[in-house]
Amino acid sequence: MDSKVHSITEKRDQSTGMSVLLLGATGLIGKYCLEHLLASSSVEKVIAPTRRTINNRDKKLRNVLIDFDNLDEYEELFQVDAIICCLGTTIKQAGSKSAFRKVDYQYALEAAQLGRAKKAKAFYLVSAVGADAKSPFFYSRVKGELEKKLRQLEYDVLSVYQPSLLLGERENQRFAEHAFAKVARYTNPLLSGRLTKYSAVGAELVAKAMVNESLFHGKAVPAGPKVNVYRYDNIVTLAHNPENILKR
């Protein structure tokens, strides 16, 4: 864990701990979210529905094996204070565009709908830079369509994180990502102004930013609906110095 990544956990302890539903807990960003949530004294319970068992016996963790094609059968899991959604795949991994859309759009949207029905107040989503419902590119269009649908649910707080290339160790590291990660150390300093949003960013920084925001709000989520969109600069700030962005 990056010891320099700032935590606001101890500054905003709740009288009773918050409950968080974490989707995608075994993924690149999700695994770091899980680590930081479990380490927080502000969090009483982390519910992590997954396809495979998480090897963690933390007493705060409730790992439930589920069938994502039948999310409505697990609606009781969505009775939480906040939802962090790190679900995502690639067309290559999914096997087809339709399979990709099922994971990145259908599962995430159904989860958000269930959470809203169960009175969850905040939804934190990992999307992608360039997400646009009108994009000519399938990947960006699916991400944009999801963001558009989530806005219509009118969560008190909807925060959309739009990282570019993610850096970190994956279980199945893709060659292109590995190559780009090496190049990123040289290209990131060259990206400024409007191009800054395309800077590669560490998966743990994204995770910490999301957890920091969820802990800051805790149960005292401001009356919404309020939509936040965070790209590279804000993601880094939220991970290191969240008070610079999150103000009461």
Question: Which region, left, alpha or beta, applies to residue 55 given φ > 0 means left and ψ of -120 to 50 means alpha?
Answer: beta
Q: What is the mean pLDDT of each successive set of 10 residues along the chain, which is 248 residues long?
A: 46 68 96 97 97 95 97 96 96 93 98 97 97 97 98 96 86 56 58 77 96 89 86 96 82
* Domains recognised in the chain with CATH numbers: 14-241 (3.40.50.720)
Q: Which 3-state string (H, E, C) describes 182-194? A: HHHHHHHHHCCHH
Would you say 221 and 154 are in contact if contact means Cβ atoms under 8 Å apart?
no
- Among 200, 212, 201, 171, smallest CA distance to 27 is for 171
Q: Is 105 a catalytic residue?
A: no
Looking at the DSSP assignment, which residues form a beta bridge with residue 63?
Answer: 48
Q: Which of 74, 105, 139, 198 is catalytic?
A: 139
For position 173, what pLDDT does the model report?
55
For position 8, what pLDDT does the model report?
46
For position 181, what pLDDT does the model report?
58
For position 10, what pLDDT does the model report?
41
For position 13, what pLDDT does the model report?
42
Q: Is 11 a catalytic residue?
A: no
Distance CA 84, CA 235 (A): 15
